[in-house]
């Protein structure tokens, strides 16, 4: 590999390929290097039935297609044009070990690893290839989603980056609403005719909410929502939804989106206790059991433990999922208990178990959702911040005719070791779909669970 002015060499860690199988084609005119140790690690994942296994197999197939596109044996060591299978990329792909890197001082590279870094570790062999390329004169950028490996690479003098293509800066995450000062005449017109025509309304994205307040007295205000037509319509105060009343303006906006069957995809982002899951379940019960707009409620969440995993669980699928779905049962018990109390002692008491027995409620692991088509259901994907962008794409594409899907999560509480607040599937979905007529989003800001929960979310 001879250095080419202006061309960078991106060395990819295994976790980048497992996170996004198509990342090889994201580097435009620059070269991509996959160390041999990465190929060896992909081999360990290829038989998995989860998303990691699928991505590993896809990467291996792409490498094989690139290999077959060249008649010369060892073509991957010499470099293959990425444009052969990735039209947007004009660089080359290399699969290398250290001995394949020409024009570098092997002794200098060995000295770095001899005393501190064990070359039995695949991570360290990957770093060794990156250092060898750097010492041969390449402008090397090491890409990894492993924070500790990025620290080691930086200590070795390498230029280091996370995989940024599918990341969103969390400080810029779309809130779903904005505050706008307007004249008293505009507010009076909105209250009088219940909407503002497109020409008279402030600019906003489709399904974005506007908190309009008077320029002269801020307490005089209204909440409105921009429609796909450009009109801005006044949002009325919701009565109790399954005996649940909104406690702040963000919750009012969330219920407006959740109860609108014309918006098939809604995302709710917020910290602990802001009511994301509770609001979604209340709307699901209302639209499914009271208004019969959907045949059943389907609830799912990623199976990622907080702390040490409890290991194998015996029993049926339902009994295995019961431990992971306990937060859902807690919210359902609260909602259904309030409904039963409102109906009186002589009414049949609704419970999560009775809903599951009547097939009005299904709990499903995300593992089994691939390949499904889910029509006429209210689908709730809880803890969606623990999903990758590709996983969220797979899940949303399962939504069939007349179904509604709600994604809930807190980007500040991520248990997936290879995701962060800006690189998770929930934030990515919000950023890419904002302004679409079929999508609505609200960022819930105030914790309403309890004073203690609000204090913990703010101070701890």
- Cα angle value 336/252/271 (rounded, 5°): 80
User: What is residue 449's predicted lDDT score, i.e. its pLDDT?
Assistant: 81
**CA separation for the pair 352, 344 (Å, rounded):** 19
- Cα–Cα separations (whole angstroms), residue 86 to 90, 91, 94: 8, 10, 15
The label of the residue with tokens 């208004």 reads: 291
User: What is residue 172's predicted lDDT score, i.e. its pLDDT?
Assistant: 77
User: What is residue 255's predicted lDDT score, i.e. its pLDDT?
Assistant: 96
Q: Which residues pair with 161 in a beta bridge?
A: 143
In order, the DSSP letters of 290-305 are: IS--SSEEEEEE----
Task: Report helix, strand or coil for 437.
Answer: coil
Cβ(37)–Cβ(137) below 8 Å: no
Mean pLDDT by 10 residues, the chain (460 residues): 79 93 90 95 89 90 90 84 89 85 60 71 92 91 93 92 75 89 93 91 94 90 94 86 91 96 96 93 96 95 57 58 79 80 60 90 80 91 91 91 96 83 90 96 90 77
User: What is residue 307's predicted lDDT score, i.e. its pLDDT?
Assistant: 41
Give the count of beta carbons closer than 10 Å to the beta carbon of residue 62. Answer: 19
pTM above 0.75, yes or no: yes
Residues in the chain: 460
**CA separation for the pair 412, 386 (Å, rounded):** 10
- Environment class of 41 (CB within 10 Å of its CB; exposed 0-12, middle 13-18, buried 19+): buried
User: What is residue 120's predicted lDDT score, i.e. its pLDDT?
Assistant: 85
**CA separation for the pair 319, 336 (Å, rounded):** 21
**CA separation for the pair 281, 264 (Å, rounded):** 15
Instruction: Give which of 113, 380, 417 is closest to 268, Cα–Cα.
Output: 380
Cβ(388)–Cβ(425) below 8 Å: yes
């Amino acid at each position: 590999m001879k250095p080419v002015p202006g061309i960078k060499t991106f060395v990819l860690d295994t976790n980048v390929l497992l996170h996004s199988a198509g990342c090889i084609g994201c580097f435009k005119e620059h070269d991509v290097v996959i160390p041999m140790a990465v190929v060896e690690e992909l081999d360990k994942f290829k038989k998995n039935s989860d998303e990691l296994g699928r991505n590993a197999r896809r990467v291996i197939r792409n490498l094989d297609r690139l290999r077959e596109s060249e008649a010369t044996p060892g073509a991957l060591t010499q470099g293959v044009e990425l444009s052969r299978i990735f039209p947007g990329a004009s660089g080359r792909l290399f699969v290398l070990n250290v001995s394949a890197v020409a024009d570098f001082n092997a002794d200098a590279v060995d000295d770095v690893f001899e005393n501190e870094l064990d070359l039995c570790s695949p991570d360290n062999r990957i770093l060794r290839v990156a250092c060898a390329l750097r010492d041969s004169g390449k402008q090397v950028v090491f890409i990894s989603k492993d924070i500790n490996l990025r620290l080691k690479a930086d200590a070795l003098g390498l230029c280091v980056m996370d995989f940024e293509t599918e990341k969103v800066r969390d400080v810029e995450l779309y809130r779903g609403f904005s505050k706008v000062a307007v004249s008293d005449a505009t507010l009076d017109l909105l209250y009088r005719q219940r909407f503002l025509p497109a020409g008279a309304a402030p600019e906003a994205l489709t399904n974005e909410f506007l908190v309009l307040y008077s320029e002269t007295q801020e307490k005089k205000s209204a909440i409105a929502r921009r429609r796909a037509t450009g009109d801005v319509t006044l949002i009325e105060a919701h009565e109790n939804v399954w005996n649940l009343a909104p406690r702040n303006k963000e919750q009012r906006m969330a219920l407006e989106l959740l109860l609108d069957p014309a918006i098939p995809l809604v995302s709710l982002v917020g910290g602990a206790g802001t009511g994301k899951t509770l609001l979604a379940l209340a709307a699901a019960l209302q639209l499914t059991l009271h208004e019969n707009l959907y045949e059943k409620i389907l609830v799912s969440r990623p199976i990622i433990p907080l702390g040490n995993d409890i290991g194998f669980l015996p029993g049926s699928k339902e009994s295995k999922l019961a431990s992971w779905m306990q937060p859902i049962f807690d919210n359902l018990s609260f909602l259904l208990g309030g409904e039963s109390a409102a109906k009186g002692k002589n009414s049949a008491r609704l419970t999560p178990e009775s809903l599951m027995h009547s097939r009005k409620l299904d709990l499903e692991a995300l593992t089994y959702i691939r390949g499904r088509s889910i029509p006429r259901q209210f689908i709730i994907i809880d803890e969606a911040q623990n999903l990758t962008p590709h996983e969220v794409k797979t899940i949303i594409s399962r939504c069939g005719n007349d179904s509604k899907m709600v994604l809930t999560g807190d980007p500040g509480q991520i248990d997936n070791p290879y995701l962060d607040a800006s690189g998770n599937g929930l934030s990515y979905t919000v950023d890419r779909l904002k302004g679409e007529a079929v999508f609505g989003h609200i960022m819930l800001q105030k914790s309403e669970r309890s004073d203690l929960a609000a204090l913990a979310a703010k101070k701890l």
